[in-house]
Chain A
């Protein structure tokens, strides 16, 4: 049988048409496993997505690869020892992890930190937010293919980490907060050094804005991608900048308890009405700028006095329960501390922001395209230690 070129072409066309019809009538999904290892996830999160073509039908985040059992470990550690462990939950803003736990213990013991300690605590709290979110701003760039921002971020974050190190002795794990105050006073010349670091961070924010926000590729890859409406964000228990990017004006620094010095300062809570990936990036950029303003104000008015209240050498916390929540870099972080009146806590529940922020992934990833998965996960901004604890 003589097969002409014409026959071949028509055969190919018919096959192609058949396969198209098959795609429309009956599709066979593909399961794609993303992770657990990914260079940009700061740890190990696995996402299993079911795909139809390039669209996600269903996505399921699988956590637990970094579960270190801190809630169990705290039950066999004394109260001062617990801060060593919980430093490692959100490792990019580690001082901020200690604060809500210490505040909860202070609430149970009815101890109040002296004003100077409260202010230095707030400064370090805000410095950890700045160092954490600085890295996010660069990291968001590299996940979308822009190499430069992340190098700038690592370069400028180092100035903040140097300041944290010169007070606490540790870049990432300060272990500096104590029940009733802080471990030590500030070293000489620290205030001026922090001021110049803040100037650098302010410049860094302008650079990020010039590099990314005006970039057409960045805008087209983030605008309208991964939109989370406000009511969905609330019902999923989201918090922090992810919630504010959906237009909910809620910040525990302003709306929360009185443990830190934020209510005596002049600053602003930024929100964005869009709820998309761009909004989440934009809100965090403004938060770094706001953090710089907060730190500068705090540096101007550190009260004098002691940095430790009178607390017994051996800390026994009276029986009771306390729930304290603060606005950490990643969102609301809360500690539910139950005490039996012993040296060790009876139960510590660590409510970390990323655990709830990631639980929305299966909702928000439905129907998006594969490259947008990376955008959305990057903009949701989680730290794996903060999910798994």
Chain B
């Protein structure tokens, strides 16, 4: 997938990311709230570069379904997709945070797993699979975690209804 995305990324994946620690082969916006925008193909390399630089905790991994919000602001050259994977990393020594936002095509929602680098992402990736239907390749146990195993659909997608149970109120006796 995503050949057009590759061309659109402003900065290509750096060949030796450790030597350019503040670039990580992707675009950065802001100073204190650093956000990187790698492609799905460059995702693992970016995370490995972050890990080598000392970002030793993956504090959060989630996704956002932008189906009903297409006009969000993204840096030039990043082509918006329906799904976006949002991963937050923490550097305990430098007290820095980096957020990685990966555009994921909803029709082909397959992303490599971070389990080998951060084993704590195992349950968070299962949650993203459960709620958004994003499959993580090489994940040890790609099953639902919060919803029942027999559940149909992925509830946090925007085209999944909130659902309601009709309540029948008794008439007031006068």
Contacts and interface: CB of A to CB of B under 8 A. Distances in A.
A359 interface: yes
B64 A71 contact: no
Given A67-B146, A340-B69, A359-B122, A76 B59 contact: no
B147 interface: yes
Contacts of A63: 123, 145-146
Contacts of A236: 118-120
Interface in B120-157: 120-124, 127, 131, 144-148, 155-156
B36 interface: no
B81 interface: no
A72 interface: yes
Interface string A60-77: 000110010101110110
Given A248-B92, A325-B59, A336-B62, A237 B162 contact: no
A295 interface: no
Contacts of B88: 323, 334, 336, 351
A231 interface: yes
Contacts of B120: 235-238, 356, 359-360
Interface residues of B, number: 36
A336 B60 CA distance: 9
Contacts of A69: 155
B73 interface: yes
A218 interface: no
B60 A234 contact: no
Task: Among B57, B62, B97, B131, find the residue whose CB has the most chain A CB atoms closer than 10 A.
Answer: B57
B58 A237 contact: yes
Nearest to B99: A323
A349 B72 contact: no
Nearest to B155: A72
How big is the A interface, by class?
35 or more
B57 A349 contact: no
A172 interface: no
Contacts of A150: none
B23 interface: no
B148 A64 contact: yes
A49 to B, nearest CB: 16
Contacts, number: 95
A338 B64 contact: yes
B145 A356 contact: no
A71 B156 contact: yes
Given A67-B147, A237-B120, A334 B69 contact: no
Contacts of A363: 119
Interface string A313-352: 0000001100101000000101010101000001101010
Contacts of A206: none
A234 B95 CA distance: 14
Contact of A388 (B62, B86, B146, B162): B146
A76 B145 CA distance: 23
B5 interface: no
Nearest to B131: A71
Nearest to A388: B146
B12 interface: no
Contacts of A323: 33, 60, 88, 97, 99
12 contacts: A63-B146, A64-B148, A73-B162, A235-B118, A235-B119, A236-B119, A237-B59, A323-B60, A323-B99, A336-B60, A340-B72, A349-B60
Given A64-B145, A64-B148, A236-B118, 19 more contacts: A64-B147, A72-B162, A231-B56, A235-B57, A237-B58, A237-B59, A237-B124, A239-B59, A319-B73, A323-B60, A323-B97, A323-B99, A334-B88, A346-B68, A351-B59, A351-B60, A358-B123, A359-B122, A363-B119
